[in-house]
Chain A
Amino acid sequence: MIRLENVRKVFPGSTRAAVSDLSLDIRRGECVTLIGPSGCGKTTTLKMINRIIEPTSGRIEIDGRDAMAIPAHELRRSIGYVIQQIGLFPHRTIAQNIGTVPALLGWDQAKIDERVAELVEVVGLDSEMMTRYPSELSGGQQQRAGVARALAADPPVLLMDEPFGAVDPIVRKRLQSEFDDLQSRLGKTVVFVTHDVDEAILLGDRMAILNIGGIIEQYEAPESVLAEPASDFVEDFLGRERGLKRLALLPIGEAHLQPGPFVDVSMSPVEARRVMEQHGVDWLGLLDGERLLGWVDGARIGDAPLRGLEPRPFLVTLDTDSSLRSALDAVVTSHARVAVVVEDGVYRGMLDLEAIAEGITE
């Protein structure tokens, strides 16, 4: 979808190339995050795609078209663009801001209004914001409007330059997860520059780690980058807690689920105590058929039938789509030191610390 071939950029008055010789292939519908230390040329690379920065040499192709062969302003109308400082037009209402590119493309007003109303919903803005000026919105709301403006003419390609860098961490988290949802629905081809490793991992289908001068150190799915950093540079850059970052990407799945000390309430107390002994625990999970009832303290299991005991619920249960990181969290915070996996009330199994470790080492 986007192809950069031997792209080079030397800024006037500079002897060193900001980007020396970069080739990058971005597939249709994928979100590629560009990350690296400052001076690595990630923003320069992004801005060469819509020619906000003109490359010194090399070739850039978008959807098979040579980006250099069309007038820059026409090229840009087919590419969504979001920048960190947002850059909403202060003298235009939010509705006018969002409708910018459709208006430039000459859509009739009724069609623009319809599209704007639709987008306001898509990005989660209040429709009463439409008549306001940008200065009357909060930072998070402005950034939503910025994303809506970029999506207005339904461009196949979206370029985002640290779009969530200027909002506070809580809003940033929410905008990230909303963008993740949005992207999975819209399937745009996205190039996303960030300096936040976690953001690059969370949002990228693939991530490109750049070194000074636009050298690609590694260009792979975040799972692969975390599992096998291609160089010391990448390993350094990913920083500490690489294991935890990987855990966050891996789903619990089915493979490492264990049955655990979970028994049916119809089991005899004698047998139930034997199960506890086998597992070396002082508690017992109770099931009614496949349904999870909860857990009971081992000391309470006497000669009376299990059905008479009142099981306590597990505070945290996960499903198979939850990440191994959340499973780890459940293990360290639960009394029983296990993560219980339940889907639609049906007990699927449990994980202990060892099972989680196995999940990451394979």
Chain B
Amino acid sequence: MSVVGQTSPLIDWDWIARNVDQIAARTWQHLSLTAISVGIGLVISIGLAIVALRWRWSYTPITWVTGLLYTIPSLALFALLVPVVGLNATNAVIALTSYTLLIIIRNLVAGIDGVPNAVLEAADGMGYTRRARFWRMEVPLALPVIIAGLRIATVTTVGLVTVTAVLGLGGYGYFILRGLNTFFWTQILVGVVLSVVLATILDIGFLIVQRVLSPWARRVG
């Protein structure tokens, strides 16, 4: 079917067909920026959560600082980091990671805190050592909440990765930025749709992982 009088159709399938390689490369970039940022975010958060759980007074300043990071607009953060690390992937990863911290730490601490006292007392009473109790009771029981935190952090990061297009990266954000500059709708749509699809797939993926790792919590959901 030909569309009369429209030089640029909404979806130019030919363009998509010609650029499969490019789309694949940007998919990989989008995924790896997300994975690296959430991964580093998780490692840092675990460290900070351990500090917060051991020295309770430190939890407030930790959430205060990570909360402050969370409020900085992403574009501003990229710009702020340019004089320090330059205009590159390191810049992107530092910024993206800093946005994951608040969510992941909060869920780590809330998950561990949410383990019922009766369970802890029973575990002590049965003769668990402190360390065994932490790894075999507290961590598995906190897992649904921890994974819920990773889910939110990941979905948020997938969205933020598109903004790194201003650094010459961007994953699918590259298409959006190019499309906006040239008023080429197909590119914009490809960038937006794939970004949403990726976020949805990762969200569902985490949900499945959570169900598999904590079958006992299925009812509680």
Partner-B contacts on A (CB < 8 A): 50, 52, 73-77, 79, 81, 83, 85-92, 100-101, 104, 133, 135-136, 146, 149, 159
Q: Which of B117, B124, B214 has the most CB of A within 10 A?
A: B124
Within 8 Å by CB of A90, from B117, B119, B125, B127, lies B119
Bound-state CA distance A241–B150 (Å) is: 61
Q: Across the two chains, which residue of chain B brings its CB closest to A74? A: B127
**A159 to B124 alpha-carbon distance, docked (Å):** 13
Contacts of B116 in A (CB 8 A): 85, 87, 90
Q: B118–A86 contact, CB under 8 A?
A: yes
Q: Once the chains bind, are A83 and B122 in contact (CB under 8 Å)?
A: yes
Q: Which residues of A contact B216 (CB under 8 A)?
A: 90-92, 133, 135
Contact of B125 among A74, A76, A91 (CB under 8 A): A76
In the complex the two chains form, what is the Cα distance from A81 to B220 in whole Å? 27
Instruction: Flag if B125 contacts A89 (CB, 8 Å).
Output: no
Could you say which interface size class chain B belongs to?
20 to 34
Q: Can you give 20 A-B contacts (C-beta < 8 A)?
A: A50-B125, A52-B124, A73-B127, A75-B127, A77-B127, A79-B125, A81-B126, A83-B118, A83-B122, A86-B122, A87-B119, A88-B119, A89-B122, A89-B123, A89-B137, A101-B127, A104-B128, A135-B220, A146-B122, A159-B125
Among candidates A86, A101, A133, residue contacting B126 with C-beta atoms closer than 8 Å? A101
Name A87's contact: one of B121, B129, B140, B215 (CB within 8 Å): B121
Once bound together, how far apart are the Cα atoms of A76 and B124, in whole Å? 8
Given contacts A88-B119, A89-B123, A89-B141, 10 further A-B contacts (CB under 8 A): A52-B121, A73-B127, A81-B126, A86-B118, A88-B122, A90-B141, A90-B216, A92-B216, A104-B132, A149-B126
Q: Would you list which residues of chain B between 114 and 161 have a CB under 8 Å from chain A?
A: 116-129, 132, 137, 140-141
Contact of B119 among A79, A89, A133 (CB under 8 A): A89
Secondary structure at chain A's binding surface: helix, strand, loop or mixed?
mixed
Residues of B within 8 A of A (CB): 116-129, 132, 137, 140-141, 214-217, 219-220
Q: Which of A74, A75, A135 has the most CB of B within 10 A?
A: A135
Find chain B residues with CB under 8 A from A86 CB.
118, 122
Say what secondary structure dominates the interface of chain B.
helix
Is the CB–CB distance between B127 and A104 below 8 Å? yes
CB distance from B57 to the nearest CB of A (A): 17
Contact call B128/A87, Cβ cutoff below 8 A: no
Could you say which of A81, A91, A101 contacts B141, with CB atoms under 8 Å apart?
A: A91
Nearest Cβ distance between residue A310 and chain B, in whole angstroms? Answer: 61
Closest to B130 in A: A73
- Residue pair A91, B140 in contact (C-beta under 8 Å): yes
Q: Measured between C-beta atoms, what is the minimum distance from A49 to chain B in Å?
A: 11
Q: Would you give the shortest CB distance from A32 to chain B, in whole angstroms?
A: 18
Contact B220 A76 (CB under 8 A): no
CB distance from A52 to the nearest CB of B (A): 6
B127 → chain A closest CB, angstroms: 4
Among B122, B123, B124, B220, residue most surrounded by chain A Cβ atoms (within 10 Å): B122
The CA of A133 and the CA of B217, in the complex, are separated in Å by 9
Residues of B close to A50: CB separation below 8 A: 125
Q: How far is the CB of A50 from chain B (nearest CB, A)?
A: 6
Report chain A residues within 8 Å CB of B125: 50, 52, 76, 79, 81, 83, 87, 159
CB distance from B40 to the nearest CB of A (A): 28
Q: Smallest Cβ distance from A348 to chain B, in angstroms?
A: 48
Which B residues touch A87, using CB under 8 A? 116, 118-123, 125
Measured CB to CB, the closest approach of chain B to A92, in angstroms, equals 8
Cα A76 to Cα B129 with chains together (Å): 10
A213 to B215 CA separation, bound complex (whole angstroms): 46
Q: Inside 8 A of B118's CB, which chain A residues have their CB?
A: 83, 85-87
Complex Cα–Cα for A91 and B214 (A): 7
Instruction: Say whether A77 contacts B126, CB under 8 Å.
Output: yes
Nearest CB of chain A from residue B177's CB, rounded to whole Å: 46
**B122 proximity list for chain A (CB < 8 A):** 81, 83, 86-89, 146
Looking across the interface, which residue of chain A has its beta carbon closest to that of B133? A73
